[in-house]
Structure 1
Amino acid sequence: MPGTADLLPLTVALPLLGAALLVVVGRLLPRTVNDVLALAVAAATCAGLLLEWLRAGGGRVVSWSGGWTMTGGESVGIVLVGDRLGIGLALLVSVLTVAVLAYSWRYFDEPPERHRGAFPALLLLFEAGMCGFALTGDLFNAFVFFELMGVVAYALTGFHVEDPRPLHGALTFGVVNSLAAYASLLGIGLLYARTGELGMAQISSHLSGHRADPLLVTAFVLVTTSMLVKAAIVPFHFWLPDAHAVAPTPVCMLMSGVMVELGVYGTVRIYHVVFAGQHGIPPDAFEHTMVAAGAVTGVVGAVMCWQQRHLKRLLAFSTIGHTGLFLVGLGLLGPDGAAGTAVYVAGHAGAKAALFGLVGVLLDRYGSVDEHALHGRGRELRGTGALFLAGGLALAGLPPFGTGLGKSLAEHAAGGSGPWLPALYVLVSAVTGAAVLRAGLRVFFGAGPVPRRTHADLETSGEGEEPEVRDPRRPVPRTMTLVPAVLIALCLAVGTVPSVAAAVAEGARAFTDHAGYLASVRHGGAGVPAAAAPEAIWTLPGVLLGLLSAGLAVAMACAAVWRPSHALRGAGHHLVVPLRRLHSGLLGDYLMWLTVGMAALLVAVGSQV
């Protein structure tokens, strides 16, 4: 596709240049100018990615930086490869970055002159790292972009350096993810030693002449571990709720909305391109391992989500539960599962970012994110409450939200592996949606009796939080409610505008086409797969399952608010206490689970090769 890939490098370079500009001159400019400049850079990046997404069609666009193309099957150049799923994920990153910059317009106090422009600059660096990771075709550069994303995320998590809690959360986040990154780098080194290549397509070509031996299995596990840690897959997930509980609300919108999903995307993308050849890791080994890990993650995330009263931790565990479902859908390795998961991710990003934004309104207004302490205090924010309930219904998979359509398509794809997988989708969606609805009914509508607080509570309290503004008496900035409303509307549009879901489904063919990816990188063609694109439409079973999960969510939320069952609470106490104690907040425990997870992954994959 001559001339169509020229914008790909620019979509990565532009936010990098914008961040550099803000760092150099930001302290000399008024805050409004900094915000406008950052917003303009993010919007321009978004426009470039949208153009490339439209041009990609059902194939790919390939861009070799500096014209260093392949010669005789070899190259030292840096290549960016974009299909509609990869470019679409980068586009989602840019859309959420625009939303977060708009949301933050008057969210923070006027920073000191020496820090002016720092926050938007970090957001642009975050965007550049995520976009670069979604588009790169080079394994080492994937590591570089992934680490750029991670380092900026650590800095954003601990942005309020005067408070020890964000620093502790950022330290836990940074140490766990950095150790996983070193494992990934070691795996890349093993692949380089075996093949002498760093490009994903070139590595795959060289591996085609080797059988899946212990070195290849070890490299796969090491590289995959870093992705699964960033995706917060059990047992690599412990850092995420601790980080979300203390990170600034706009940062949570990006981390839960798209950063975690990039870990799932990277896991499956690298497998499809690098390890899925004739002599690579067997598809059954990958599918069984990832589907099992996704199922466990979904259940653990849903159970822990239900037990929270700290609203940011509640939403963080909800993200873990849904990320497990995303791994199940992509782990099935078919275009149907990829199409459904892609639609699901797009809808979930809008709903989850909106919910975090609305929690930010509570923190701005009341200096608390505790569901019990806020009981009835949000009655004056009925519009915010209505949006919060809409977000809860979207998480539950209610048609016609985009989350409901994606869940429907993924359930259909998973049904071929047995009825238990669609049941898992219904269960996780219902429980996480119910937790959000329960909190919304209590906080914004004062429903039910005031919850009694006892020493036996399993939840982490959300009281004593510091407002992220110094004058909570000011009116809530309009952008803090307008942006979540737009994000909820976008989630609805994903499920109601047929052309959007159809275009995403068309890109799923290219995402799962191993031979086509290699051909595109070698010869520069689009490599449009011959297979028909999966259908991305509402079906009667999908609508019924969506109504079932939403109905269960409403019933559970109402029961928890108006008719709490002491018997069920006691049973739940005995079942959940051991799980709750595993989330100790101790860095040493988390590192131990990182080691256990790597060993389990090695055994699971190695035993099936």
Structure 2
Amino acid sequence: MGAALLVVVGRVLPRTVNDVLAIAAAVATCAGLLQVWLRAGDGRVVSWSGGWTMKGGESVGIVLVGDRIGIGLALLVSILILAVLGYSWRYFDEPPERHRGSFPALLLLFEAGMCGFALTGDLFNAFVFFELMGVVAYALTGYHVEDPRPLHGALTFGVVNSLAAYCSLLGIGLLYARTGELGMAQIGSHLAAHRPDALLVTAFVLVVVSMLVKAAIVPFHFWLPDAHAVAPTPVCMLMSGVMVELGVYGTARVYHAVFAGRHGIPADAFEHTMVAAGAVTGVVGAVMCWQQRHLKRLLAFSTIGHTGLFLVGLGLLSPGGAAGTAVYVAGHAGAKAALFGLVGVLLDRYGSVDEHALHARGRELRGAGVLFLAGGLALAGLPPFGTGLGKSIAEHAAGGSGPWLPALYVLVSAVTGAAVLRAGLRVFFGAGPAPRRTHADLETSGEGEEPEIRDPRRPVPRTMTAVPAVLLALCLAIGAVPAVAAAVARGARAFTDHAGYLASVRSGAAEAVSAAPEAAWTSPGVLLGLLSAGLAAAMACAAVWRPSQVLRSVLAPGERHLVVPLRRLHSGLLGDYVMWLTVGMAALLVAVGSQL
């Protein structure tokens, strides 16, 4: 409604009024979602649009189903939208009259798509909301359409994600052909009467592939760093902060609601496939993150690494893994959005996001520098940040599968945090010698970027540092206030309960669930958090000051025998990315089908 209002009257209203209307709509959405989150309690809230409820186990109606994980994710979306609207208050130039109000209207449409996807209980409407989210994301990525780079990034983003969306629609068609239903619960009930076969496996892979593409899971991840490198900074805050995570959430939601029954996709097949994909994604994201000097691409690959950890946590199919991942996602959203906001300060001030070119130039922005280092430590899992608490809970849940999964959490968080700390020390504090400026074909520098404002002489608007400070404070509060994680943990039990989901939709009433998993700091969790943060700080210092030739050969970014092929795969060519989409789909079909 807010977006429609801005489209209708935004052209004739002053910019300030448009911003106030957009913020009012975002605040109203936050208030409504908070009320629903409190009402859901430890169970679910079910609402049938137009009163078209189920009759005899079948329905043509559209249902919304919210537990504390889904509603909480929608609430997180609304909070980040509110933060981005505040951050963007004076970020862009005054737009031409014909475009006035378009950016906040697009943000509100983006919010509608993401919130609808988090709350829908209808598989086709999940596709519709997912596509609404995607189409708006393409437009926001290419918002500066006069520049060919954002246009290229938006087209790559749009083509790859649209092809994946067509696959999802085909999978939904296969499920509809078998069951005659589109509601997740109804499909799940009908599938209980069928043994798993090739059609079911094909439908499952086709449906989840679009979500794994949006989540940037390897090998579907290539579009994300290219899009982040050219998208406006406020858009990056949303894409890395919550849009990518919605892809992981959708994968787990569809499995638990539709395919987790006795005759669905076996739990072992889902767990082994998703944990393996998440582990590969985490390692690739961390390695590529360390290799970047373009700060937006650095943060984008960091998002890929952490999204791999999120997939591992949800792939465990345990309430503990879901609870830890939910807390981790909430903390990560605050930290990553704050870091992108601070990179926007550099772009605003210096017209560059190149770590090497910005060496020591940010000394005048010491406040932003302190916040940037705090964000790096948060990504590394330092207690008591919410990222550290979520990492601790997920590590505990993953410990039953052996020590290698907790080690993966430590490694990925340490390397991504170290890359951020390295950049912060160099840019904001001038630490170490100035990096050698190179122009290798494997490197993407951040020099020559077009500032997103046209008057670099202006002082940095206070909102551009105040909003990141608030977001980091929220990340800290998630880990320091026990009630937050406890409430999320109670919702995690309902999120992973297939039978309870089906019963709630059929009866229309919220149901209580069994005891929630532990979601509090533990001694091993604190120690592992300190270990990953300590490793991150040590790696960053070693890279900045380079105490020996040995450390330089191991830690410094450069052309290494194992890294060069990986970096060359990120070619920026659309045809290559479509090829990897095909390869990934085939690998998923083989991985899931071979375990039936």
TM-score range, shorter chain: over 0.9
SS in 2 for 1:82: strand
Give CA deviations for 1:136-157 in whole Å, capped at 9, x if unaligned: 0000000000000000000000
Write the distance in 2 (CA, Å) between the matches of 1:122 and 1:478: 24
Please say if residues 42 and 513 of structure 2, whose CA atoms lie closer than 8 Å, have aligned partners that are also in contact: no
Please say if residues 350 and 488 of structure 1, whose CA atoms lie closer than 8 Å, have aligned partners that are also in contact: yes
Gap change, CA 1:455 and 1:167, over 3 Å in 2: closer
SS in 2 for 1:81: strand
Write the distance in 2 (CA, Å) between the matches of 1:453 and 1:551: 29
Please say if residues 36 and 71 of structure 2, whose CA atoms lie closer than 8 Å, have aligned partners that are also in contact: yes
Gap change, CA 1:208 and 1:451, over 3 Å in 2: same
Write the distance in 2 (CA, Å) between the matches of 1:71 and 1:181: 31
Please say if residues 542 and 551 of structure 2, whose CA atoms lie closer than 8 Å, have aligned partners that are also in contact: no
Gap change, CA 1:289 and 1:564, over 3 Å in 2: farther
Please say if residues 204 and 275 of structure 1, whose CA atoms lie closer than 8 Å, have aligned partners that are also in contact: yes
Write the distance in 1 (CA, Å) between the matches of 2:292 and 2:59: 51
Please say if residues 338 and 467 of structure 2, whose CA atoms lie closer than 8 Å, have aligned partners that are also in contact: yes
Give CA deviations for 1:448-476 in whole Å, capped at 9, x if unaligned: 00000234474310000000000011011
Give CA deviations for 1:213-235 in whole Å, capped at 9, x if unaligned: 00000000000100000000000
Are residues 1:136 and 2:120 paired?
yes
Shift of 1:596: 0.2
Write the distance in 2 (CA, Å) between the matches of 1:54 and 1:64: 19
Give CA deviations for 1:106-141 in whole Å, capped at 9, x if unaligned: 000000000000000000000000000000000000
Write the distance in 1 (CA, Å) between the matches of 2:219 and 2:424: 29
Q: Is there any run of 5+ residues in structure 2 with no aligned partner, and where?
A: 553-557
Q: Is there any run of 5+ residues in structure 1 with no aligned partner, and where?
A: 1-16
Write the distance in 2 (CA, Å) between the matches of 1:452 and 1:484: 30
Please say if residues 179 and 191 of structure 2, whose CA atoms lie closer than 8 Å, have aligned partners that are also in contact: yes
Gap change, CA 1:165 and 1:401, over 3 Å in 2: same
Write the distance in 1 (CA, Å) between the matches of 2:514 and 2:548: 52
Shift of 1:527: 4.5
Please say if residues 60 and 528 of structure 1, whose CA atoms lie closer than 8 Å, have aligned partners that are also in contact: yes
SS in 1 for 2:257: helix
Shift of 1:482: 0.3
Please say if residues 77 and 115 of structure 2, whose CA atoms lie closer than 8 Å, have aligned partners that are also in contact: yes
Shift of 1:535: 1.3
Give CA deviations for 1:21-62 in whole Å, capped at 9, x if unaligned: 101110010000000000000110001001111111110000
State the match for 1:206 in structure 2. 190
Give CA deviations for 1:476-528 in whole Å, capped at 9, x if unaligned: 10100000000000000000001111000110010000011001100x45443
1:419-430 matched pairs, under 5 angstroms? 419-430=403-414
Please say if residues 308 and 458 of structure 1, whose CA atoms lie closer than 8 Å, have aligned partners that are also in contact: no
Gap change, CA 1:160 and 1:455, over 3 Å in 2: closer
Please say if residues 363 and 467 of structure 1, whose CA atoms lie closer than 8 Å, have aligned partners that are also in contact: yes
Give CA deviations for 1:44-95 in whole Å, capped at 9, x if unaligned: 0001001111111110000101111111111111110000000000000000
Are residues 1:293 and 2:277 paired?
yes
Write the distance in 2 (CA, Å) between the matches of 1:530 and 1:376: 54
TM-score, structure 1 normalization: 0.96
Gap change, CA 1:136 and 1:122, over 3 Å in 2: same
Write the distance in 1 (CA, Å) between the matches of 2:561 and 2:439: 15
Write the distance in 1 (CA, Å) between the matches of 2:513 and 2:496: 12
Gap change, CA 1:564 and 1:211, over 3 Å in 2: farther
Shift of 1:573: 1.1
Write the distance in 2 (CA, Å) between the matches of 1:357 and 1:84: 28
1:47-86 matched pairs, under 5 angstroms? 47-86=31-70
SS in 1 for 2:559: helix
Shift of 1:565: 5.1
Write the distance in 1 (CA, Å) between the matches of 2:590 and 2:92: 47
Shift of 1:572: 6.3
Please say if residues 307 and 458 of structure 1, whose CA atoms lie closer than 8 Å, have aligned partners that are also in contact: no
SS in 1 for 2:145: coil
Q: Which moved more, 1:560-569 or 1:46-55?
A: 560-569
Write the distance in 2 (CA, Å) between the matches of 1:568 and 1:191: 54
Please say if residues 40 and 510 of structure 2, whose CA atoms lie closer than 8 Å, have aligned partners that are also in contact: no
Number of aligned residue pairs? 591
Write the distance in 1 (CA, Å) between the matches of 2:304 and 2:548: 26
Give CA deviations for 1:549-575 in whole Å, capped at 9, x if unaligned: 000000000000001654555x96111
Write the distance in 2 (CA, Å) between the matches of 1:364 and 1:531: 51
Shift of 1:530: 3.9
Shift of 1:392: 0.1
Please say if residues 513 and 529 of structure 1, whose CA atoms lie closer than 8 Å, have aligned partners that are also in contact: no
TM-score, structure 2 normalization: 0.98
Write the distance in 2 (CA, Å) between the matches of 1:30 and 1:385: 34
Write the distance in 1 (CA, Å) between the matches of 2:584 and 2:28: 40
Gap change, CA 1:308 and 1:565, over 3 Å in 2: farther
Please say if residues 494 and 513 of structure 2, whose CA atoms lie closer than 8 Å, have aligned partners that are also in contact: no
Write the distance in 2 (CA, Å) between the matches of 1:234 and 1:529: 37
Give CA deviations for 1:228-247 in whole Å, capped at 9, x if unaligned: 00000000000000000000
Please say if residues 47 and 63 of structure 2, whose CA atoms lie closer than 8 Å, have aligned partners that are also in contact: yes
Are residues 1:36 and 2:20 paired?
yes
Write the distance in 1 (CA, Å) between the matches of 2:575 and 2:163: 12
Please say if residues 509 and 529 of structure 1, whose CA atoms lie closer than 8 Å, have aligned partners that are also in contact: no
Give CA deviations for 1:391-422 in whole Å, capped at 9, x if unaligned: 00000000000000000000000000010000
Gap change, CA 1:75 and 1:395, over 3 Å in 2: same
Write the distance in 2 (CA, Å) between the matches of 1:399 and 1:105: 32
Write the distance in 1 (CA, Å) between the matches of 2:88 and 2:408: 36
Give CA deviations for 1:244-300 in whole Å, capped at 9, x if unaligned: 000000000000000000000000100001000000000000000000000000000
Are residues 1:608 and 2:578 paired?
no
Please say if residues 301 and 317 of structure 1, whose CA atoms lie closer than 8 Å, have aligned partners that are also in contact: yes
Please say if residues 7 and 105 of structure 2, whose CA atoms lie closer than 8 Å, have aligned partners that are also in contact: yes
1:46-125 matched pairs, under 5 angstroms? 46-125=30-109
Give CA deviations for 1:294-344 in whole Å, capped at 9, x if unaligned: 000000000000000000000000000000000000000000000000000
Please say if residues 66 and 119 of structure 2, whose CA atoms lie closer than 8 Å, have aligned partners that are also in contact: yes
Give CA deviations for 1:340-388 in whole Å, capped at 9, x if unaligned: 0000000000000000000000000000000000000000000000000
1:586 maps to which of 555, 568, 573: 573
Write the distance in 1 (CA, Å) between the matches of 2:123 and 2:515: 29
Write the distance in 1 (CA, Å) between the matches of 2:55 and 2:586: 40
SS in 1 for 2:242: helix
SS in 1 for 2:341: helix
Please say if residues 44 and 66 of structure 2, whose CA atoms lie closer than 8 Å, have aligned partners that are also in contact: yes
Write the distance in 2 (CA, Å) between the matches of 1:545 and 1:46: 34
Gap change, CA 1:568 and 1:596, over 3 Å in 2: farther
